[in-house]
A and B are shown apart, each in its own frame.
Chain A
Amino acid sequence: MKNPSTTDLSYDPSRSVSFPLPWLEGAIYLEWIGEGQMDGSLLNRVQTHIEKVFHCRTRVRIRKGSIPLAFDPNRKQHSSTVILRWLLEGLPRDARKVLAVTDRDLFIPILTFVFGEAQLGGRGAVVSTARLREESGGRSGNPGLFLNRLLKECLHELGHTFGLTHCANSGCVMERSNTVFDVDRKNRAFCQDCAVLLGDLLREEGK
């Protein structure tokens, strides 16, 4: 088993790669839909990273109330597909994309769990922190490793909303991750192929 201490343990913004993407009109909305208290500094880190990578503005959205029908009492998990549908309701006009972050464990009916879900070429994405803490020493464990995983998964799911599919290039943030070790093996950036494709997709989408 891979020792987590061998991966990059500290958050280092200089490692995030940015490319000459066109300035993105509108904003990417971030929404905390967790059960626990929102970690302001964590969301702040995500926000900064997204702004840098996607060359855009971000806004934080706060909504009250629970998500209807998302919780499955048998599985004791939340349906990411139901959350996605709910997330897209009543989006602000300037919302280009919306990314929800939650501490709830997510699932889709055929899989035991998912780290997140996104609409391919759509507007919504959701990422769960529940399993990203695994093998990182729990909640009080290794915060650098956990943050890195979260940033990677946020970038990954947002990449899908821009139309990027999974990438076969080793280390690319768009590689499929089935375990936290898969997440740890990836870089916190798009590979060159995905970066170029993302630029094209953005131009196609009309920036």
Chain B
Amino acid sequence: MREKVKILVVDDEEIVRESLSGWLEEDGYTVDVAPDGPTTIGKLKESEWNILLVDLKMPGMDGLQVLENARKIKPEAAIVIMTAYATVDTAVQAMKMGAYDYLVKPFEPEELSLMIKKLVNQQNLLRENILLRKALKRQYRFRDLLSKSPRMQGLFELAKTAAKSNSTVLILGESGTGKELLARAIHAESPRSNGPFVEVSCAALTETLLESELFGHEKGAFTDAVSRNKGKFEMAHGGTLFLDEIGDISPKLQLDLLRVIEEREFRRVGGSELIKVDVRLIAATNRNLKKLVEEGTFREDLYYRLNVIAITLPPLRERKEDIPLLVEHILGQLSVEMAKNLEGVSREAMDLLLSRDWPGNVRELRNVLERGAVVGSGGILQPSDLGLFTVEGDDGSERTGMESLKEIERHHILEVLKQNHWNISRSARALGIDRVTLYHKIKRYGLKPERAVS
């Protein structure tokens, strides 16, 4: 449910305060009144207000002075100036000072209703926006980049320092090591956190498409350019542009990018106007950029432009001490996402997780745990839930490595049935499904009890 909108009515006439507050209360708003400027300022400091309706002519501090003070104390509140004596000058002055509107008394009831509705919608959007920004920042703060390893802690310190600056950051590391997460955390901790974070995966697009994606295009620049489009550089103005897979861009785009980094301006594809942008760049790649430079496939000058602050994220196999912490964190996230009570993994399952090399790094670990969370029947994930270990198949053969979800499900159901001596009710209860579903699955997977050996 939305929070109640709070309105403060400021007028030196008691009858106006009484009638206007009564009229607004009938709409369900929380309304308070103030007879003068000093009382208003006191109330503004005491609590939150969404809307202020302020009379222009009051003895002592007038409406414009109240407006000036209110803008400083509660910049997010919308302020409407009311007056019985309208002049163009005061109206212009009020609007210049940041008033939302200027109303001449008396107003038509419909006019006031509509204005208040608009203001309430605007205030709700503002509040929602602030909450979403907070949630986003929470999601990507450095605390969520979990690690006990001293090497990682050192990297986080470097990233935090880098976040405060405007310098280009180059994040290196294998796939799945959390390069994007780190880029988002740097943005969230930077003075640009209120600006946009725009992400482009350079490997996903062809040269022409990527060029248009980065710099935008004018109408008619190419066959499909039916309208003018802003590029990611423009969209990221005032914020951060994250160029992922930077090692995969073509020589032409490398040159274009170099120019933008040096000049901080560019032209849209098919356009002649120079567009200036204020963008902080973070680039990332899983490729060895230095080697690409040596091989002549990546421009050396661009490499040095990007490589101002370089952060290399180590692969998971080099920081296995982080696995228990990561498992706990990922299972916590999965519990919320899947509305399932996931308490942890068994000792045997943890040993299994620690024994692997994790070529896909944290992303792979998350995938394995997600599969385990789907097929696992209890709150503690068992080795058999993870689909990683070497086991004997039901035909006696060895099954190894990653399996499809169906294979895991088939195997797990068979195991549970065996443990419960093919008692369908007990097995269904253990699996957390009903008996009919279990019968269907037994039929679909062609499961049969082993024959007793006489």
B416 to chain A, nearest CB (A): 49
Contacts of B20 in A (CB 8 A): 108-110
Size band of the interface chain A makes with B: 20 to 34
**Bound form: Cα–Cα A23–B106 in Å:** 41
Among B15, B16, B105, B113, the residue within 8 A (CB) of A176 is B113
Contact B27 A165 (CB under 8 A): yes
Contact B106 A109 (CB under 8 A): yes
CB of B22 within 8 Å of the partner chain: yes
**Bound form: Cα–Cα A120–B31 in Å:** 12
B349 to chain A, nearest CB (A): 52
CB of B351 within 8 Å of the partner chain: no
Contact with B along A76-115 (1 / 0, CB 8 A): 0001111000000000000000000000000111111110
Contacts of A107 in B (CB 8 A): 106
Known: A110-B82, A111-B112. A120 touches B26 (CB 8 A): yes
CB of B108 within 8 Å of the partner chain: yes
Contact B22 A111 (CB under 8 A): no
B105 to chain A, nearest CB (A): 5
Contact A178 B19 (CB under 8 A): no
Among A75, A108, A179, the residue within 8 A (CB) of B23 is A108
Contacts of B110 in A (CB 8 A): 178-179
Contact with A along B62-95 (1 / 0, CB 8 A): 0000000000000000000010000000000000
Contacts of A178 in B (CB 8 A): 108-110, 113
CB of B38 within 8 Å of the partner chain: no
Contact A166 B28 (CB under 8 A): yes
CB of B25 within 8 Å of the partner chain: yes
CB of B445 within 8 Å of the partner chain: no
CB of A160 within 8 Å of the partner chain: yes
Contact B113 A109 (CB under 8 A): no
**Bound form: Cα–Cα A17–B110 in Å:** 28
B441 to chain A, nearest CB (A): 45
Contact B16 A111 (CB under 8 A): no
Interface core residue of B25, B106, B107, B112 (most chain A CB under 10 Å): B106
CB of B128 within 8 Å of the partner chain: no
Interface core residue of A75, A80, A107, A110 (most chain B CB under 10 Å): A110
Contacts of B22 in A (CB 8 A): 81, 108, 117, 119-120
A93-149 contacts to B, CB under 8 A, are: 107-114, 117-120
B17-36 contacts to A, CB under 8 A, are: 18-20, 22-23, 25-28
* Contacts between the two chains (Cβ within 8 Å), count: 67
**Bound form: Cα–Cα A36–B413 in Å:** 87
Among A108, A109, A166, A179, the residue within 8 A (CB) of B27 is A166
Contacts of B105 in A (CB 8 A): 109-110
| Chain A facing B: main interface SS | loop
- How many residues of chain B get a CB closer than 8 Å to chain A's CBs? 21
CB of B407 within 8 Å of the partner chain: no
**Bound form: Cα–Cα A79–B19 in Å:** 10
B79 to chain A, nearest CB (A): 16
**Bound form: Cα–Cα A80–B105 in Å:** 17
B106 to chain A, nearest CB (A): 5
Known: A120-B22, A166-B26. A79 touches B106 (CB 8 A): no
Contacts of B157 in A (CB 8 A): none
Contact B15 A82 (CB under 8 A): yes
Contacts of B13 in A (CB 8 A): 109
**Bound form: Cα–Cα A111–B15 in Å:** 12
Smallest Cβ-Cβ distance to A114: which chain B residue: B109
A163 to chain B, nearest CB (A): 10
Contact A176 B108 (CB under 8 A): no
B4 to chain A, nearest CB (A): 11
Contact with B along A57-84 (1 / 0, CB 8 A): 0000000000000000001000111100
Contact B27 A110 (CB under 8 A): no
**Bound form: Cα–Cα A112–B27 in Å:** 18
Among A79, A82, A111, A166, the residue within 8 A (CB) of B109 is A111
Contacts of A82 in B (CB 8 A): 15
A144 to chain B, nearest CB (A): 25
B23-68 contacts to A, CB under 8 A, are: 23, 25-28
Contacts of B26 in A (CB 8 A): 118, 120, 160, 165-166, 176
Contact B23 A111 (CB under 8 A): yes
B119 to chain A, nearest CB (A): 15
Contact B27 A111 (CB under 8 A): no
Smallest Cβ-Cβ distance to A160: which chain B residue: B26
Contacts of A108 in B (CB 8 A): 19-20, 22-23
Additional 13 contacts, C-beta under 8 A, given A81-B19, A165-B26: A79-B15, A81-B18, A82-B15, A110-B16, A110-B19, A111-B112, A112-B106, A114-B109, A117-B23, A120-B25, A165-B28, A166-B27, A166-B28
The 9 A-B residue pairs whose C-beta atoms are closest, nearest first, are A108-B19, A165-B28, A178-B110, A178-B109, A81-B19, A109-B16, A112-B106, A166-B27, A120-B25
Which chain A residues have a beta carbon within 8 Å of chain B's beta carbons? 75, 79-82, 107-114, 117-120, 160, 165-166, 176, 178-179
14 A/B residue pairs, CB under 8 Å, sorted by A: A108-B23, A109-B13, A109-B20, A110-B82, A110-B105, A110-B106, A110-B112, A112-B108, A117-B23, A120-B22, A165-B27, A165-B28, A166-B28, A178-B109
